[in-house]
Structure 1
Amino acid sequence: MSPVYRGRFAPSPTGPLHFGSLVAAVGSYLDARTQGGEWLLRIEDVDTPRNVPGAAENIIATLAAFGFEWDGPVLWQSRRREAYAAALAQLQATGLAYGCTCSRKEIADSASRPAIDGGLAYPGTCRHGLPAGRSARAWRLRVGAAEIAFDDRLQGHVAQQLERDVGDFVLLRADGLFAYQLAVAVDDQFQGISDIVRGADLLASTPRQIWLQQCMGWPTPRYAHLPVASNAAGEKLSKQTLAPALQVGQAAAALVGALRFLGQAVPAELARASVAEVWAWAHVHWSFAAIPRQAAIPLATLP
């Protein structure tokens, strides 16, 4: 019988893991393990043009070297196109998904509202039918006027009016690739994920995933969005901001740093401990209540 709690860590292979990745991995791992739950590893490589050769294998090896232990085989999104196609077909059959001819330039020329996470909210140009003589380039999901709200375990009450804040969003892109929002919702359902612990940079996309779950008749997991680490310029640590890769030879120290970032009262002597000793301490002393309730923390402000 499966445990009540099932979490996951789902990196994209666009480069090596960095400190920000480690924070998300540590937070999700300890939340699962200290509740007697399973922790799964998923490689979110559905956006193939962004994948870096060898990055996925490097991520898996780095996680193993840092002492993470996941349950079951690794799930690869690039091998699950049939599952995404089946979900899209179900949404098409119910009329919730529709074809869209619009290019980015056309959307920019006709949109009047910014989207909540950058870009422009889709103005609904094609939701009542395609212009004469044109065929669909992408497929979008209809959104309603109702508010989508949830209570995040860290960030509190979150609410979005999707029609205003996002507009009908893409499920199948013009280049033939399935969009992140569809893939992640399908995979969370397939893997029976009960709890999603990830960075607050993904907070704004969560109502879209909840709407997808509702459209498909799937349960909604609990969410906890951890504070993300930012650099001196206030930018989230990422591959795009040239965050340095994790070094296996400094695994114990990096784990201690991630624990402290997450508000844990790590004793000074643990800085000289082994990876196994760090994890042993963390499993006993992990406190979810100690995690800062904010969306971002500049690394320069940490002690």
Structure 2
Amino acid sequence: MTYIGRFAPSPSGPLHFGSLITALASYCDAKAHNGLWLVRMEDIDPPREMPGAKQLILQQLEAFGLHWDRQVIYQSERLDLYQQQIDTWLREHLAYACSCTRKRMKSINHQYDGYCRDKHNSADNCAIRFINNTTINQFNDQIYGLCELPRLHAQQDFIIKRKDGLVAYQIAVCMDDVAQGISHVVRGYDLLDTTIWQKALIAQLGGNTPEYAHIPLAYADDGRKLSKQNGATAIEVNQASSLLHAALEHLGQQPPKALSTENVETIISWAVKHWQREKVQNIAVKQLNNA
């Protein structure tokens, strides 16, 4: 099977060091397996989108030597396809409208209990939930090994369209992974607990489930994960070589110190040639032990 990986940033801001680590890991894993590396822009949340971020992210990737294969996909251009699938599942009773408030969700600790499943609510001003009939609560991750999630979380009906009318991340990412034939997903550890939901969606879509590998997160000095929400600073193009070297160190790849002063193409070439998932696993184990 051809290896097809992807990097799918949201344009809520420029790439920061944490997202560089994910992009680099997904790129190296794809290229080390003689595969394709695609870029998909997850631009389905306009209120959170930063003007100009889409183009800036692509410019950052190119400046860091991370060149994608095939055309960039923009989810905002696929909204009709997502809605068609949601409408189909509503007709087939594989999804339903949920009127539960934030207050109610908080009262049940955000572990949805199927309260609206048989209420036949109108879709107007409601969220849409997928009927999750999965019986599993564990999966094998290529970095973290066997991952077991709480059954209440793994088997709950989850949102595929938000109450505000915006398409939810879960259905968009799964439809796109199926459409693009994604075989391997390398992404941050913070998305691990949605993997079983995505497996359920992809199965319902009739697609092939990718192999998943979750990457240890990077943290700021104050202990918070590096993210746009936490105000992580953008990666600077004029520091590309040193930042790539630091990202490889975070991934446990043990790049030689002299590599930090080479040009980005040399660094990327070294990274692909010497890529070892086992070294990422070692970092993951250390983080878990220190948690």
The question of a shared fold, defined as TM-score above 0.5 by the shorter chain, is answered with: yes
Distance in 2 between residues matched to 1:262 and 1:96, nearest whole Å? 40
Q: Give the match for residue 92 of structure 1.
A: 90
**Unaligned stretches of 5+ residues in structure 1:** 115-119
Q: Give the match for residue 60 of structure 2.
A: 62
1:183 maps to 2:183: no
Is the partner of 1:157 in helix, strand or coil? strand
Q: Give the match for residue 223 of structure 2.
A: 234
Q: What TM-score, normalized to structure 2?
A: 0.92
Q: Give the match for residue 35 of structure 1.
A: 33
Aligned-partner residue type, residue 129 of structure 1: K
CA contact (8 A) 2:202 2:208 kept: yes
Distance 1:150 1:276, change over 3 A: same
| CA offset digits 1:187-223 (Å, max 9, x no partner) | 1001110000011011011111111112222211000
1:147 maps to 2:145: no
Shift in Å, 1:148: 3.5
Q: Give the match for residue 116 of structure 2.
A: 126
Distance in 2 between residues matched to 1:295 and 1:48, nearest whole Å? 34
Q: Give the match for residue 198 of structure 2.
A: 209
| CA offset digits 1:250-299 (Å, max 9, x no partner) | 1011111111111112111112111122122222222222113455988x
Shift in Å, 1:12: 0.5
**Unaligned stretches of 5+ residues in structure 2:** none
1:283 maps to 2:272: yes
Aligned-partner residue type, residue 124 of structure 1: G
1:107 maps to 2:105: yes
Is the partner of 2:129 in helix, strand or coil? strand
| CA offset digits 1:113-168 (Å, max 9, x no partner) | x3xxxxx112222101146x995512101123622432000011123355455621
CA contact (8 A) 2:216 2:283 kept: yes
For the aligned residue pairs, the C-alpha RMSD in angstroms reads 2.2
The correspondence for 1:269, drawn from 254, 258, 276, is 258
Distance in 2 between residues matched to 1:294 and 1:268, nearest whole Å? 19
Distance in 1 between residues matched to 2:41 and 2:123, nearest whole Å? 36
Aligned-partner residue type, residue 27 of structure 1: A
Deviates more, 1:159-168 or 1:65-74: 159-168
Distance 1:82 1:280, change over 3 A: same
Distance in 2 between residues matched to 1:172 and 1:272, nearest whole Å? 47
Distance in 1 between residues matched to 2:258 and 2:124, nearest whole Å? 64
Distance in 2 between residues matched to 1:160 and 1:136, nearest whole Å? 31
The correspondence for 1:25, drawn from 19, 23, 26, is 23
Shift in Å, 1:235: 1.2
CA contact (8 A) 1:227 1:293 kept: no
Deviates more, 1:264-273 or 1:163-172: 163-172
For residues 153-168 of structure 1, what are the structure 2 equivalents within 5 Å? 153-160=142-149, 163-165=152-154, 167-168=156-157
Q: Give the match for residue 78 of structure 2.
A: 80
Is the partner of 1:231 in helix, strand or coil? coil
* Number of corresponding residues: 288
Is the partner of 2:227 in helix, strand or coil? coil
Is the partner of 1:23 in helix, strand or coil? helix
CA contact (8 A) 1:152 1:224 kept: yes
Deviates more, 1:73-82 or 1:87-96: 87-96
